[in-house]
Chains A and B, each alone.
Chain A
Amino acid sequence: MFAYIIRRVLATIPVMAVVALFVFSLLYIAPGDPAAVIAGDQATPADVERIRESLGLDRPYLVRFGEWVWNILNGDMGVSIFTNLPVTTMIKQRIEPTLSLMVLTLILAVSIAVPMGVVAAWKHGTWIDRCVMGFAVLGFSVPVFVVGYVLAYIFALELDWLPVQGYTAFKEGFFPWLENLVLPAIALGGVYIALIARITRATMLEVLQQDYIRTARAKGVGQRSILFLHALKNAAVPIVTVIGIGMALLIGGAVVTESVFAIPGLGRLTVDAILRRDYPVIQGVVLLFSFVYVLVNLLIDVLYTLFDPRIRY
């Protein structure tokens, strides 16, 4: 197992290399020029060229790529073209809000969606099942930003229970931190809850048809034990897979949620950087997201062995 984890960690290196090459090349051929954005409306072509030179953007592709890779290997992600701040500093400033939002959303989603899916499977064909599925359809259909606006309108503007926007660091207290994240986490969690609830229901329905469940019932095992100990554990592998795949949904959704609730996270940093063509920041953030995604998938693979001892690597 340990050897497997080491192998998988090492396998992330070529994956990250491909991502790096892809991101760098994509930005190289993409339209837009940060020097022109910096120079602004009044600039002459000579001004733009001079800024381009000062930023090193006039050098050949291979030279720039080689230098960037070398710096990355030395832990230096470069300096933002616009803010003049190191990319690592900008990422550090933004990582806590995004991580907080994603973790809270994940906890919220799993703790709501799994019981929902289980109950829907148990009460298959009843109004409870239809309600759960109706909610799932709604969760998939309504965009995150719409949910965000509605929640902010009701709970912040009308009821004045929670703030409309912003983020309070965890070090300033758990409740102020939570206060700012409740609405964004619910807004972002909608799709995720829908996804997990549907998969949980479908998998549980299949498992509940199995012979060993019938045997357990015949032996007089209680309904709760059947559902959560016998059936859910065996349905866990697809559910955990969906939770892992859903991380991409969370990362994408965080971009929108952070904008709607003015949370200073990595999603907004990415959008701002793309609009301004701040290449070092875009490259740094995309690399980070890719790395996180690869790690989450590794974690999911490892979790398989806990839920299903038959799985061996």
Chain B
Amino acid sequence: MITRRPLLLAALAAPSLARAQTAQRTLRFIPQGNLANIDPVWSTTVIARNHGLMIYDQLFGLGTDFQPKHQMAQGHEVSADGLTWRISLRPGLKFHDGAPVRSADCIASILRWSKRDVLGLRLNALLEEAKAESDSVFTLRLKRPWPGLAWALGKPSANICAIMPERVARTDPFKQIEDYTGSGPFIFRPAQWVPGSLAVYERFADYVPRQEPADFLAGGKPVHFDRVEWRVMPDPATAAGALLNNEVDWWETPLPDLLPRLRRNREIEIDVINTAGNLGVLRFNHLQAPFDNPAVRRAILPAIDQRAFMQAAYGEDPALWRIPAGAFTPGTPLANDAGLEVLTSPRSIEAAQKLLRESGYAGQKVAIMTPTDLANINALTEVAADLMRRIGFNVELQATDWGTAIQRRSNRNLPDQGGWSAFCTTWEGLDTSVPGSHQPLRGNGLEGWAGWSSSPAREALREDWFNATTLAEERRVAADLQRLVWQEAPFVPLGQGRPPQAWRRSLSGLVKGGPSLFWNLRKG
């Protein structure tokens, strides 16, 4: 017999049960920063890329072995001369508005991406013709063979080749899109977007995942949440409190100083998700003295202690960084030890001082910019400045913020005229894993990354990498490139940072390999 009391209790409990069920189906995530813009082709930010990976799918996706595999593509064929790529699409793919994904959408998306991305620009230069054979098959005809095209189309680092509807992909690549219709497993809800605070995603019910286990960006992308909330929290202590208090499920960038506090809580797990991490880089201005002189740049190498840089930036725990790091991201297929003794032999300030004296350095001012609003980069820069002072450089450490630093980097003048001499930064490990997207490695002078290093030899080797058809060939090129780096010193690798992430143990199925991914995850 049903009495009034249980009925009343059940009625009272109903709203909290409903809330609990909703919470179970909602993932609350603290991203590394503010999602300030949401066009992963227009923006180069890591967070816009992460957003892009949620709402857009890609033709190819990298597996945990960093090799490209089919994702939206059902298959592909390359002609015997290597010039024609014929790509077919998986059946049943849909955009968030219900329209089918067609060849025309893919071509328009590729063309827009090819105007902005570093590898896209190569495709832009090589592309003879892009043509839809049917709604599900299209061809890309190149002027010269490019075996790495699948890698480029599936590259996970910014800018990604996100597949958008043709009407959206026709937007000028230098302007932001205004239509957020995607092709990925999540739908973005712009009406609920509060930049700097909240971004909301919902599961795309019509998304057709591959029938394979999740494998980084390849394989299936099954979604087990109805809603994902990105809750932006600029203050690390607040974010830690929110995680400890079960107000969020997952924190992407816990501060190393706060890890001991988090580790004391049994409900929280800490591990490295992005195994490629990022590569610390000391970059020189090759146009102005003293670093226009390769002997001056090389003089620093004997004193570089990667451990000191990593400890300053990521803390004492050696699980959070990896040394020695050569020119390529440690742990990725092209990482090698060619000439690495330059950084692994016993460190010596005296040897560096001797080399500096012999280099002809005349005491010119060395202006080093440090963006104090980016803790890791600031730490790397302070170690670099201290080291250079001890070697004998006339160092002026100039504290600034990221917005100013990135503008000043484009100034090619002398330090006294607003220019600069050196800076430290970090590059996404996935970018620095191959010569194609490795900007510090390039030698394209004034056309290149800030620092404007010019080296026909490095450019020629990069071209060899593009033309390599086997991993063994790629590795040979990478080893040659690394030897050149020690000789020409366009930059100095400072170690591989492997920032950990923290999440509540109720979460399972996190996909490892690179950026934070939201499929395959379960709660409870």
Residue in B116, B237, B403, B439 whose beta carbon sits within 8 Å of that of A32 in the complex: B403
Q: Given B178, B194, B373, which contacts A94 in the complex, CB threshold below 8 Å? A: B194
| CB of B98 closer than 8 Å to a CB of A | no
Q: Judge whether A272 and B36 touch: CB under 8 Å.
A: yes
B24 located at the interface, meaning its Cβ lies under 8 Å from any Cβ of chain A in the complex: no
- The CA of A289 and the CA of B235, in the complex, are separated in Å by 24
The majority secondary structure among interface residues of chain A is helix
Which chain A residues border B235 with CB–CB below 8 Å? 259-260, 262
Interface locus among A7-15, A79-87, A130-138: A79-87
Chain A: minimal CB distance from B333 (Å): 22
Q: Determine, out of B297-305, B350-358, B405-413, B463-471, the stretch whose residues face the partner at the interface.
A: B405-413
Interface residues of A in 2-52 (CB under 8 A from B): 31-34, 36-45, 47-48, 50-51
Interface set, chain B 419-440, CB cutoff 8 A to A: 425, 427, 439
Interface size class on chain B is: 35 or more
Verify A31–B234 contact, CB threshold 8 A: no
The answer to whether B410 touches A163, judged by C-beta atoms less than 8 angstroms apart, is no
Are A156 and B195 neighbours in the complex by a CB distance under 8 Å? no
Q: Are B245 and A43 in contact (CB under 8 A)?
A: no
Indicate if A230 sits at the interface (CB-CB under 8 A). no
Q: Smallest CB-CB separation from A35: which chain B residue?
A: B407
Beta-carbon contact of A275 and B402 below 8 Å: yes
Which residues of B, 192-245, contact A by the 8 Å Cβ criterion? 194-198, 231-235, 237-239, 241-242, 244-245
For A274-293 the 0/1 string (1 means CB < 8 A from B) is: 01111000000000000000
- Contact residues in B for A192 (Cβ distance below 8 Å): none
Q: Is the CB of B241 within 8 A of A157?
A: yes
Q: How far is the CB of A48 from chain B (nearest CB, A)?
A: 6
Chain B binding surface, main DSSP class: loop
B residues near A36, Cβ cutoff 8 Å:
406-407, 409-410
**A93 in complex: contacting residue of B194, B245, B427, CB < 8 Å:** B194
A272 to B401, CA, bound (A): 12
| Given A90-B195, A275-B402: A40 in contact with B45 (beta carbons within 8 A) | yes
Q: How far is the CA of A35 from the CA of B263 in the complex (A)?
A: 41
| B198 touches which of A39, A45, A54, A264 (Cβ 8 Å) | A264
B449 at the interface (CB under 8 A from A): yes
CB distance from A151 to the nearest CB of B (A): 11
B430–chain A nearest beta-carbon distance, Å: 13
Whether B245 lies near A31 (C-beta < 8 A) is no
Residue A164 lies at the interface, judged by CB distance under 8 Å to chain B: yes
- Tell me which of A94, A165, A271 has the highest count of chain B C-beta atoms within 10 A of its own C-beta: A165
Contacts of B34 in A (CB 8 A): 272
The verdict on A268 contacting chain B, using a C-beta distance below 8 Å, is: yes
A45, A48, A83, A157 — most chain B CB neighbours (10 Å) = A83
Decide yes or no: A157 and B244 within 8 Å by CB, A40-B45, A83-B37 being known contacts. yes
A112 to B197, CA, bound (A): 32
Instruction: Report A105 CB to chain B, min CB distance, Å.
Output: 18
Taking a contact as CB atoms under 8 Å apart, the answer to whether B238 and A262 are in contact is: yes
A38 to B373, CA, bound (A): 17
Chain A residues packing against B (C-beta within 8 Å): 31-34, 36-45, 47-48, 50-51, 54, 80, 82-85, 90, 93-94, 149, 152-153, 156-157, 160, 163-166, 259-262, 264, 268-269, 271-272, 275-278
20 residue pairs bridging A and B, Cβ less than 8 Å apart:
A31-B408, A33-B406, A34-B403, A40-B44, A40-B45, A41-B406, A54-B174, A83-B37, A84-B176, A84-B178, A156-B241, A160-B245, A164-B238, A165-B238, A165-B242, A259-B238, A260-B237, A262-B238, A272-B34, A272-B195
Apart from A38-B44, A44-B448, A272-B196: 5 A-B pairs, beta carbons within 8 A: A41-B449, A84-B37, A153-B241, A259-B235, A262-B235
By Cβ-Cβ distance, the 9 closest A-B pairs, closest first, are A40-B44, A264-B197, A164-B241, A32-B403, A33-B407, A82-B36, A36-B407, A31-B404, A262-B233
